[in-house]
Structures are given as C-alpha cells and as structure tokens.
Amino acid sequence: MNQKRATQGRMLFYLRDSGGEHEMTPPQYVCQAQAKAKELGLKFDGTPEAIERMRLSQTPVEGDLYFDYIVQGHLKSRTALDALIERVSADKTVSHIYTPQRDRFSRPHDTNDAVQQENVFRRAGVTLIFRDKRPSVSQR
C-alpha cells in the first residue's frame, strides 16, 4: 500500500555546522523554526534546549532535529543528513524541512550536487524552507 505524503504534517529541522564555531546560533535557528512551524500549522517538536544538548554531545538526531556538527558541507554522506533522508522516505507525515540557509544544507564542490540533494526531498513531496528564501515547493 503506497501511503500518500501529508501536505501539512510535520516539519523537520536540518543544520550543518562545519567549524563548530556557532554555538549561539543553533538555538536561535530552532526558535525561528518553531515560529515557522506555528505560522504554517505544522507539527514540530524541536527545542533550543534539545539542539544545545545535541551540540554539546555531538548527537546527530533527536526527534525532529537533525544536526551535522563539525561536518564539512561538501560531503555527500553525513550522519544527520542520511538519517533525514531515511526518515523522509519512511515517514509520510513529514511535509516540510526547515534549514536556516542553503549553504548549511549543502556546500558541495559541484553545484549540481547541491541541486540533486535538494531534489531528493522535492521528489519525495517535501517542501524545503530556507529562512532567507521563499519555500521551495515539492514536486507533488
């Protein structure tokens, strides 16, 4: 049975920090994601406290939060990103992914690789939200 993806379901949060130098920003980003989820009427369980715990323990996944901490953006396979892809594939309630900036999501040597990475989610029917851009709507 092929379950159809929700259009207004759950939002997940993804962040990559390559240098580990932005200890104040991850909680602020999660606050912004909370506000966006509320604005859009989406479920989201991420908290600033949870992402801070993740940063301190270098835990890549907790609930709706996915955090590749001290991981370079040109790497195609990353622990949190791989787990995010797996969750989106398995969980049809996921309708949106929030990431603060496009370069936090991906920073490959070849820009086509970044487009291909984003298209994995769009083709799955998920809307990508970048804090500083209009939502990148899925291809439903």
List, for residues 68-126, the tens digit of each pLDDT value.
Answer: 988 766 667 789 999 999 999 999 999 999 998 776 666 555 666 667 778 888 889 99
> Would strands 65-69 and 94-99 be described as parallel, antiparallel, or unpaired?
unpaired
At 40-60, the pLDDT tens digits run 999 999 999 999 999 999 999
To which CATH superfamily is domain 10-130 assigned?
Answer: Resolvase, N-terminal catalytic domain (3.40.50.1390)
pTM of the predicted protein model: 0.84
Three-state SS for 95?
strand
Dihedral sign of CA atoms 50, 20, 28, 92 in order:
negative
On the question of pLDDT at 1 being above 50, the answer is no
